[in-house]
Structure 1
Amino acid sequence: MHRLLLIFSVLFSSLFLAQTKLNLIPYPQKVEFQKGEFIIPKTFKLDENLPVKETAYFKKRTAGMFTFSSGKKNEDVHLVNALFTPQSVIDQQKKEKYSIEVSSGGIVINSNTNQGYFLALQTLIQLIEQYKDSGKIPAMKIEDEPKFAWRGMHLDVCRHFFTVDEVKQYIDYLAMYKLNTFHWHLSDDQGWRIEIKKYPKLTQIGSKRKESMIGAYVDNTFDGKPYGPYFYTQDQIKEVVKYAQERHITVVPEIEMPGHALAALSAYPELACTKGPFEPATKWGVFDDVFCPKEETFTFLENVLNEVMALFPSQYIHIGGDECPKTRWKECAHCQELIKKNNLKDEHGLQSYFIHRIEKYVNSKGRKIIGWDEILEGGLAPNAAVMSWTGIKGGVEAAKTGHFAVMTPGSYCYFDHYQGDPATEPNAFGGFTPLDKVYSYNPIPEELNAEQAKYILGVQANLWTEYILDFKQVQYMIFPRLLALSEVGWGTADPKNYKEFEWRVINEFKVLDKMGINYAKSIYNINGKVQPRVGGISYKLSTSQKPEGIRFTTDGSVPTENSQTYDVPIPVSKTMTIKSAYFEGGLQSAVSSQDFVISKTTGKPITLESQPDENYSFGGAFTLVDGIIGNQKQLGKTWLGFQGKDVVATIDFGQKTQFSEVYFNTLDNKGSWIHFAKSAQIFVSDNGTDFKLIKEIGREEILSAKGKIKVNVGIQNSKYIKVNIENAGIIPAGNPGADSKAWLFVDEIGVN
């Protein structure tokens, strides 16, 4: 048990009872206010027996606020009974358990581990930040422990590289908000970032590329500038791991296999199914050339993992396993012979064989593997854990079969997605994951019973860096969403009280400002949401500030303080542009702008036979009749995405309606496995049951229109319209993601 007692000689002021909400993130499990107050001293007197490293961290974080001195226990410290179970029989969460007692006599921290003590210090630092101006902290007792053992953040250093000092800053951010796992993505198609002494060409060749893709993927433009060589030496790796350990953060390294291997194959082409030559990828996306499952490949990977495991003491080693095209394996005589020899069903079975081989080796070294949910293909290795990113399905499947899982679904936990209106945000990968959505996530899937739920280790957010060029942009993408993630992982997030959490976030901005962190201010901007109303749609505006500060226009002009004040959702009955901004005290937020194109389907009831993927489902089916045409360069909240599924949408006009034109848009972004629709059929019906085909559109017509489909269907008069937009199906050889299910993106189905 560690105790921190802050003792000083001052006159105590009158006792008071503070019943205000504490500005703590993540919020503790239990807070009990008591009578009295702790006067913050100019000199803190610390128990001389406190853990040295953690206490040094506390002094560094509060440098400039106080001076410090130490006192002996028998002189200054009041004895406190141990609160918790002996360390030998506690699990990870109990190791992180702590309590803080604040009274007029001092502050006492109780924990059984240095880790618990360190987490308590994070809470104490936040209390001091909140109350330093008033000079007194209310008396209280905090009892706290996390709900989840794995509370992680990921950083991709392959697409863009970050220095050792920047990685340390990243780790500091995790520590501040009680995250305990740093997932370091060290190898991919675009770069190999870790020194492996046995294979020097990995960094000599694989750590650089001739240029980098810039701008939106569909532009297919490059900067023409050599990138790298960039990598971490083994001494630098040790330095980062030690730094993280001092902050009680586990570093989990990721070495990608069998896919995402181009940087490695560029250095050692003999490990591929074909002869090459190869070079580190300059584009983003997925590529056909992967590790070939032959003996020399396994020898190579085992040797690499030997050096990795010597550097990283983590229980888990991340082996990737995601997005591995089977094109080369299908064409490879060795792979086909291996499938026959081992009685494997197909290439998916070969992937399972590959993962089993690696797991057996890692287990022999006393470690465990964790991989993205594609490692479920062909059967999960016996002791493997799953990182569920494509949704929650992988985590559910793992937990139901007795395997541990970390939940990191893209729809909630991908911080490379937009967090505000894409029109006002820096270029991002796509998707729409604002602060309130992250905060709403529950890592325990509803499908699991209490026993199965025990296999959910926790939650993690991922930061892929295709579109993140420097560390300032890293800061922008993780803050303030990291704060929501921390509370989700701690287990105290309550979506019903999101506004209260938002208040705490805004208060925490003062700390981020002091640290010089470039956080996103999207929370201040106007958030617009389309909703149905009788006869059409309306546009609801909201902000984290007082709603009466919102001003808007409907004629496309820029709003001023004298523009119309927002009070109720704005009816949208014609094609128009609504612009809005927040004004207060002479300050103005960024201007939000939304174009509306009204058709006869706008706001009408719509049903889908298959639902969109949860990563690209913002607004659900209604997104297809909300009057908003999507930007083909931004896969934000205006698009619905379907992987391997057709879009079959039925719209009810409510009465027989005459029309002659139907339009919709689809996307082509092959690097992200997104393909134009294969075909489309348009049907009409008067009863919603019996439909008649009135138009069919082929692939050539869709390609020539570049996905912007507008067709004349003759004069029609019906109550229902059904539009069937056919997915491209399995991605053909020669394309990124070959042999995988294509994505189909659709934004709006309009009728005139």
Structure 2
Amino acid sequence: MQRFLLMFSVLFSSLFFTQTRLNLIPYPQKIEFQKGTFIIPENFKLDENLPVKETAYFKKRTAGMFTFSSGKKDEGVHLVNALFTPQSVIDQQKKEKYSVDISTKSIIISSNTDHGYFLALQTLIQLLEQYKDSGKIPAMKIEDEPKFAWRGMHLDVCRHFFTVAEVKQYIDYLAMYKLNTFHWHLTDDQGWRIEIKKYPKLTQIGSKRKESMIGAYVDNTFDGKPYGPYFYTQDQIKKVVKYAQERHITVVPEIEMPGHALAALSAYPELACTKGPFEPATKWGVFDDVFCPKEETFTFLENVLDEVIQLFPSKYIHIGGDECPKTRWKECPYCQELIKKNNLKGEHGLQSYFIHRIEKYVNSKGRKIIGWDEILEGGLAPNAAVMSWTGIKGGVEAAKTGHFAVMTPGAYCYFDHYQGDPATEPNAFGGFTPLDKVYSYNPIPKELNAEQSKYILGVQANLWTEYILDFKQVQYMIFPRLFALSEVGWGTSDPNNYKEFEERVIHEFKHLDKLGVNYAKSIYNVSGKVIPSENGVAYELSTSQDQNGIRYTLNGKDPEANASIYKNPIPVSKSMTIKSAYFENGQLKSAISSQTFTISKTTGKKITLLEQPSENYSFGGAFTLVDGIVGNQKQLGKTWLGFQGKDVVATIDFGQKAQFSEVYFNTLDNKGSWIHFAKSAQVFVSDNGTDFKLIKEIAKDEILSSKGKIRLNVGGQNAKYLKVRIENAGIIPAGNPGADSKAWLFIDEIGVN
């Protein structure tokens, strides 16, 4: 236990601060306001016994606010005995427990450890930032500790590389908002970024690629520019790890296996099932060539892990395990013999065999493995932890079987998704994960009981960098969503009080401005939500600012300060384009948002789905298919619903008989992301909602020839109900990215004319 005193030269003030909400992120567990104020001094007097490294950090962060001096007990510094639990019996969260007691004369920090002291400093720095202009802080006592032991951020440096200085800056951001884990994604198909002395060709060959994909994936265009060689030397990695340790951040390295291995196979093709040749991938996506589970491969990976373990003192080593196509294993005589010899359950059993072998080796070195959901395939290794990304299912399965899990579902925790209107945002991978959605996440699945919930280590957000070209864009994608993640991980988020959190976010922007951070200002923009209305749909506008500042037009022209003032949801009874923006004192303060509506006889009607979309691509639910918005084929944002391995069976109730002769919808083809055109589609009608008659069928060839823009002539129909069945492509065939996995089916709007 340690208890620390920060002592200042102060003036007493009898002003009583009534309880108020502080601009702290993450918000503490408990705050008790007291009478009086603490006057922020010009000279900050520190107890000379404070932890050296953490206090040096504090001085650096507050440089320019005041000067510093130190003192002993007889100079007015009061040393206090231990009050907290002895360190020998505390768990991770208790190691991070702290209190900050601000009186009229002093600030006393109490904690179990230097880590707790460091976290207390983050709180104090935010308080000083908030009150520096007034010169006084209300007297209070803060008692605080995190709910979750793992509060992490991931960074992919393989698709695009970031310098040591930038990685350190990234770590600083985590420390500022009390995250404690940095997941460093160091190897992938597009680049090998860590020096391995035993295998120099990994960086000589695997750290560069001949070009990179640019723009939307469906464009299939490349920049023609060699990329790399880019990698971190072992000396650089040691410096990053040390830098992180000084900020109480654990660095968890990720070495991908058995899939996402093209960069490694380019250097050492003998580790593959085929002879190659291979080259680091220039496209994004998933590729068939993976590590072959032969003895020389395990020797190679064990030697690599030996060097990795020497560099990273983390308890866990991340071994990937995700998105490993089984195509090559199916065709490989060695793999098939191995399956037979060990009585494995096919290629999924071989994946489990692979992970078990690696885990046994990592365990022999005193470490544990953690991997993505797919390490569950064929049975989870005995001591492995799961990082649940495809949803919550992997985490639930792990916890129910006594394995630890970190929750990082794409629907809430993938920061490469759009965070605002895709039309006004930089190109992103897809999906729609705005700030309020991140803030709404609860890492404890409702499927778990209290005992099982103990196996949820915590929460993490991931930043994949296919479309993130530089560090300014890294900043843009993580801020302000990192604030929401921080509070979710700390356990004090309150989705029912989101607006209050949003106010704190906007206040914290001032600090980001001071640091020169390029954060996203999406929450300032006017956001639109389509809602059902009596005559179809209405468009509801909102902003984090004064609602009276919203201006809009219905004629497709950009709004000006004298445009219509938004008061109520805008009725949309015909096809139109609504543009909106936020103005303040006659000045445009936001991006101009634009939404085009294509109205049909299904718009706003009641719709039900037999199967629900994936949580990653479910914004708006079934209503998205009848909201009057046709999706942009280059942006898998909020206007599309995505279904993995499922057919779309949608039933629309017109309310009364409706006449129509055309049914339309759009589907996508983006094989690199496992998205395939529909296999077939059928249209049915009914008058009672029970007995349906098939009126039109379309096969795959017609869907392909239409390039996914389906327009079906169904003759003259007069029916109360319409049912559309759109068949998923099913299992992805060999020769395609993600072979043997379930295909994705994307649908945007089901309309009739």
Spell out, residue by residue over 1:317-353, the C-alpha distance to the aligned partner (whole angstroms, 9 max, x if none).
0000000000000000000000000101110000000
> AA paired with 2:78?
H
- The corresponding residue for 1:744 is 745
CA distance in 2, matches of 1:74, 1:453: 50
- The corresponding residue for 1:611 is 612
Whether 2:729 is the aligned partner of 1:728: answer yes
C-alpha contact (below 8 Å) 2:408/2:461 kept by paired residues? yes
CA distance in 1, matches of 2:436, 2:587: 24
Whether 2:66 is the aligned partner of 1:50: answer no
Q: TM-score, normalised by structure 2?
A: 0.99
CA distance in 1, matches of 2:591, 2:256: 40
- The corresponding residue for 1:406 is 406
- Equivalent positions of 1:136-155 (< 5 A) are 136-155=136-155
Spell out, residue by residue over 1:362-402, the C-alpha distance to the aligned partner (whole angstroms, 9 max, x if none).
00000000000000000000000000000000000000000
> AA paired with 1:438?
V
Please state whether the residue corresponding to 2:339 is helix, strand or coil: helix
> AA paired with 1:692?
K
CA distance in 1, matches of 2:421, 2:41: 45
> AA paired with 2:708?
G
Shift of 1:558: 1.0
- Equivalent positions of 1:382-397 (< 5 A) are 382-397=382-397
Name structure 2 gaps, 5 residues minimum: none
> AA paired with 2:605?
K
> AA paired with 1:669?
N
C-alpha contact (below 8 Å) 2:647/2:726 kept by paired residues? yes
Please state whether the residue corresponding to 2:583 is helix, strand or coil: strand
- Equivalent positions of 1:276-355 (< 5 A) are 276-355=276-355
- Equivalent positions of 1:512-591 (< 5 A) are 512-588=512-588, 589-591=590-592
C-alpha contact (below 8 Å) 2:4/2:80 kept by paired residues? no
C-alpha contact (below 8 Å) 1:480/1:505 kept by paired residues? yes
C-alpha contact (below 8 Å) 1:422/1:634 kept by paired residues? yes
C-alpha contact (below 8 Å) 1:255/1:319 kept by paired residues? yes
- Equivalent positions of 1:67-106 (< 5 A) are 67-106=67-106
Please state whether the residue corresponding to 1:593 is helix, strand or coil: strand
CA distance in 2, matches of 1:652, 1:74: 82
CA gap of 1:9–1:84, structure 2 versus 1, over 3 A, is closer
Shift of 1:555: 1.2
Spell out, residue by residue over 1:50-88, the C-alpha distance to the aligned partner (whole angstroms, 9 max, x if none).
000000000000001111000113432334453321100
CA gap of 1:451–1:705, structure 2 versus 1, over 3 A, is same
Shift of 1:103: 0.6
Please state whether the residue corresponding to 2:382 is helix, strand or coil: coil
Whether 2:675 is the aligned partner of 1:690: answer no
C-alpha contact (below 8 Å) 1:288/1:736 kept by paired residues? yes
Spell out, residue by residue over 1:645-693, the C-alpha distance to the aligned partner (whole angstroms, 9 max, x if none).
1000000001111100000000000000000001000000111111100
- The corresponding residue for 2:19 is 19
C-alpha contact (below 8 Å) 1:2/1:50 kept by paired residues? no
Please state whether the residue corresponding to 2:31 is helix, strand or coil: strand
CA distance in 2, matches of 1:327, 1:398: 27
C-alpha contact (below 8 Å) 1:3/1:47 kept by paired residues? no
- The corresponding residue for 2:427 is 427
Percent identity, aligned pairs only?
88
Please state whether the residue corresponding to 2:504 is helix, strand or coil: helix
Shift of 1:144: 0.1
- The corresponding residue for 1:712 is 713
Spell out, residue by residue over 1:9-33, the C-alpha distance to the aligned partner (whole angstroms, 9 max, x if none).
4432333123221000000000000
CA distance in 2, matches of 1:9, 1:477: 42
- The corresponding residue for 1:495 is 495
> AA paired with 2:162?
F
Please state whether the residue corresponding to 1:671 is helix, strand or coil: helix
CA distance in 2, matches of 1:78, 1:345: 67
CA distance in 2, matches of 1:562, 1:302: 68
> AA paired with 1:561?
A
Q: TM-score, normalised by structure 1?
A: 0.99
CA distance in 1, matches of 2:9, 2:700: 82
- The corresponding residue for 1:243 is 243
Spell out, residue by residue over 1:588-645, the C-alpha distance to the aligned partner (whole angstroms, 9 max, x if none).
1111000000000001010111100000000000000000000000000000000111
C-alpha contact (below 8 Å) 2:2/2:82 kept by paired residues? no
CA distance in 2, matches of 1:52, 1:551: 54
- The corresponding residue for 1:657 is 658
Spell out, residue by residue over 1:455-495, the C-alpha distance to the aligned partner (whole angstroms, 9 max, x if none).
00000000000000000000000000000000000000000
Shift of 1:744: 0.3
C-alpha contact (below 8 Å) 1:5/1:45 kept by paired residues? no
> AA paired with 2:749?
E
Please state whether the residue corresponding to 2:431 is helix, strand or coil: strand
Whether 2:506 is the aligned partner of 1:506: answer yes
- Equivalent positions of 1:174-323 (< 5 A) are 174-323=174-323
CA distance in 1, matches of 2:202, 2:18: 59
- The corresponding residue for 1:633 is 634
Shift of 1:739: 1.0
CA distance in 2, matches of 1:318, 1:11: 53
Shift of 1:112: 1.4
CA distance in 2, matches of 1:318, 1:14: 55
CA distance in 1, matches of 2:488, 2:171: 18
Spell out, residue by residue over 1:526-567, the C-alpha distance to the aligned partner (whole angstroms, 9 max, x if none).
010001112311111000001111111111111111111111
Shift of 1:238: 0.2
CA distance in 2, matches of 1:6, 1:490: 25
> AA paired with 2:738?
G
CA distance in 2, matches of 1:59, 1:158: 35
> AA paired with 2:297?
T
> AA paired with 1:704?
S
C-alpha contact (below 8 Å) 2:5/2:79 kept by paired residues? no
> AA paired with 2:707?
K
Q: Could you say what the CA RMSD is over the residues aligned between the two structures, in angstroms?
A: 0.8
- The corresponding residue for 1:680 is 681
Please state whether the residue corresponding to 1:696 is helix, strand or coil: strand
> AA paired with 1:604?
K
Spell out, residue by residue over 1:66-125, the C-alpha distance to the aligned partner (whole angstroms, 9 max, x if none).
110001134323344533211000000000000000011110000110000000000000
CA distance in 2, matches of 1:12, 1:592: 52
CA distance in 2, matches of 1:708, 1:81: 73
C-alpha contact (below 8 Å) 1:7/1:76 kept by paired residues? yes
Please state whether the residue corresponding to 2:241 is helix, strand or coil: helix
Spell out, residue by residue over 1:286-320, the C-alpha distance to the aligned partner (whole angstroms, 9 max, x if none).
00000000000000000000000000000000000
CA distance in 2, matches of 1:9, 1:394: 55
CA distance in 1, matches of 2:449, 2:6: 45
Report the more deviating stretch, 7-16 or 715-724. 7-16
